[in-house]
């Protein structure tokens, strides 16, 4: 006997209305969900399914497979987005009693390719910092900003959120306020402290005089707290002045450099986790992959049998044949 439920088209329409009215979703979100759910409805129609109550978990999982293996296969990220729309539809239908169960709940999205963070080499980093050549107030501020980002691994929001009292020059530490209001104390290197001191003595008094007074450490040209957008612009300007591609460098690049260079220098992953403010060590462990990749490159160029040449001897190698 055919189970009674809700037509797929009606369920989709009700779900989109819920997103627009109750959730206040943006026009872009609604367009994306409409496209993905239209594709899903067509998939169900090809299977002779026009009622949400007739959908099984296998129908949802097969939809994901079809997205990834059709004539114009979608990228894993696009397929995952489409599945998110489908799961939202079934969750909504089950919650509102349109169907008895949420059949999409256990369907997992396709695995996304791991994107390893891109870090500058130490030479490139020195080149970037050298891009802050101006001795004016904003130039000194930008040098202090970049030095702090690299020295502490701070997120850009944490750096621009610093107040004067957060920096302890005696203990050479800084108090960072991270996600969820969590705080952590991180050491600050001497070059960063020197850059901050130059900014505080020679630049900040001029900048703060243009505003109404603020405890913020880093100020803009109007004497107010530096914004994330202005900090981003400062980094891009320094990259351009240093001859680096500004499109390939973001404030998060310096955070990646901080972690990658620490790991390459032998720092324990748990220590790097604490310094970065990661809640889980699994988030930090991506930097161990970066280090392993670097070691693999060295191995490939230095080891006589790394490339499978089959050589048993050569300059600087011992003869182990017994002859």
Tell me the C-alpha to C-alpha distance, in Å, between residue 232 and each of 17, 145, 226: 37, 10, 10
Tell me the C-alpha to C-alpha distance, in Å, between residue 266 and each of 131, 276, 287, 288: 29, 16, 12, 10
Query: Token pair for residue 15?
Result: 């779900």
Question: Distance (Å, rounded) from C-alpha 244 to C-alpha 131?
Answer: 9
Is residue 229 included in any domain, yes or no? yes
Question: Distance (Å, rounded) from C-alpha 255 to C-alpha 151?
Answer: 9
Catalytic annotation present for 278:
yes
pLDDT of residue 277: 84
Catalytic annotation present for 155:
yes
Is residue 61 included in any domain, yes or no? yes
Active-site position among 40, 150, 199, 287: 287
Same domain, 155 and 60: no
Catalytic annotation present for 289:
no
Is residue 307 included in any domain, yes or no? no
Active-site position among 43, 155, 177, 236: 155
Last residue of a domain, one of 223, 251, 279: 251
Catalytic annotation present for 118:
no
Same domain, 30 and 89: yes
Is residue 144 included in any domain, yes or no? yes
Q: Considering only CA atoms, which of 291, 322, 311 is closest in space to residue 303?
A: 311
Pairing label, strands 183-187, 167-168: unpaired
Does residue 112 contact residue 286 with C-beta atoms inside 8 Å? no
Last residue of a domain, one of 251, 285, 317: 251
Catalytic annotation present for 43:
no
pLDDT of residue 310: 46
Is residue 315 included in any domain, yes or no? no
Beta bridge pairs of residue 177:
183
| Share of the chain residues as helix, strand and coil, in percent rounded to the nearest 5 | 55, 5, 40
Range of 140's domain? Answer: 123-251
Same domain, 177 and 86: no
Per-residue pLDDT of the chain (323 residues; tens, 9 = 90+): 344 568 999 999 999 999 999 888 888 889 999 999 999 999 999 999 999 999 999 999 999 999 988 777 888 888 999 999 999 999 999 999 999 999 999 998 887 665 655 778 889 989 998 888 778 899 999 999 999 999 999 999 999 999 999 999 999 999 999 876 789 999 999 999 999 999 999 999 999 999 988 999 999 999 999 999 999 999 999 999 888 888 888 878 898 889 888 888 888 888 888 888 887 776 666 666 655 565 566 566 666 666 654 444 444 433 433 33
Catalytic annotation present for 287:
yes
Is residue 300 included in any domain, yes or no? no
pLDDT of residue 286: 64
SS3 18: helix
CATH number, position 213: 1.10.443.10
pLDDT of residue 319: 40
Active-site position among 143, 177, 236, 278: 278
pLDDT of residue 158: 94
Is residue 256 included in any domain, yes or no? no
Question: Distance (Å, rounded) from C-alpha 240 to C-alpha 219?
Answer: 22
Active-site position among 91, 172, 184, 252: 252
Question: Distance (Å, rounded) from C-alpha 183 to C-alpha 124?
Answer: 30
pLDDT of residue 171: 93
Q: Which long-range contacts (CB under 8 A, 24 or more apart) does 107-110 make?
A: 107/57, 107/60, 107/61, 107/64, 107/83, 109/64, 109/76, 109/79, 109/80, 109/83, 109/84, 110/64, 110/68, 110/76, 110/79, 110/80, 110/83
Active-site position among 23, 31, 179, 305: 179
């Amino acid at each position: 006997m055919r189970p009674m439920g809700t037509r797929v088209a009606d369920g989709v329409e009700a779900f989109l209305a819920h997103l627009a009215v109750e959730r206040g979703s943006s026009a872009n979100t609604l367009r994306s969900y409409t496209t993905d759910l239209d594709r899903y409805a067509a998939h169900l129609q090809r299977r002779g399914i026009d009622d949400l109550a007739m959908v099984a978990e296998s129908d949802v999982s097969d939809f994901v497979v079809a997205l990834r293996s059709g004539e114009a296969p979608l990228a894993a990220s696009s397929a995952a987005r489409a599945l998110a729309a489908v799961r939202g539809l079934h969750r909504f239908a089950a919650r509102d009693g349109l169907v008895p169960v949420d059949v999409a709940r256990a369907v997992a999205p396709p695995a996304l390719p791991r994107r390893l963070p891109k870090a500058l080499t130490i030479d490139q980093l020195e080149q970037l910092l050298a891009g802050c050549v101006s001795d004016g107030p904003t130039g000194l501020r930008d040098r202090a900003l970049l030095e702090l980002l690299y020295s502490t691994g701070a997120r850009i929001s944490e750096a621009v959120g610093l107040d004067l009292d957060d920096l302890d020059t005696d203990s050479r530490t800084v108090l960072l306020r991270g996600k969820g209001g969590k705080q952590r104390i991180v050491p600050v290197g001497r070059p960063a402290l020197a850059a901050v001191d130059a900014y505080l003595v020679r630049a900040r008094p001029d900048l703060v005089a243009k505003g109404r007074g603020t405890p913020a450490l880093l100020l803009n040209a109007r004497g107010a707290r530096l914004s994330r957008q202005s900090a981003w612009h400062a980094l891009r300007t320094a990259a351009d002045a240093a001859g680096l591609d500004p499109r390939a460098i973001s404030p998060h690049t310096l955070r990646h450099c901080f972690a990658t260079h620490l790991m390459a220098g032998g720092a324990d992953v748990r220590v790097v986790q604490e310094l970065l403010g990661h809640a889980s060590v699994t988030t930090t462990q991506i930097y161990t992959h970066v280090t392993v990749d670097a070691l693999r490159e060295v191995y490939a160029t230095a080891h006589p049998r790394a490339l499978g040449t089959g050589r048993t001897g050569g300059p600087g190698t011992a003869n182990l044949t017994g002859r």
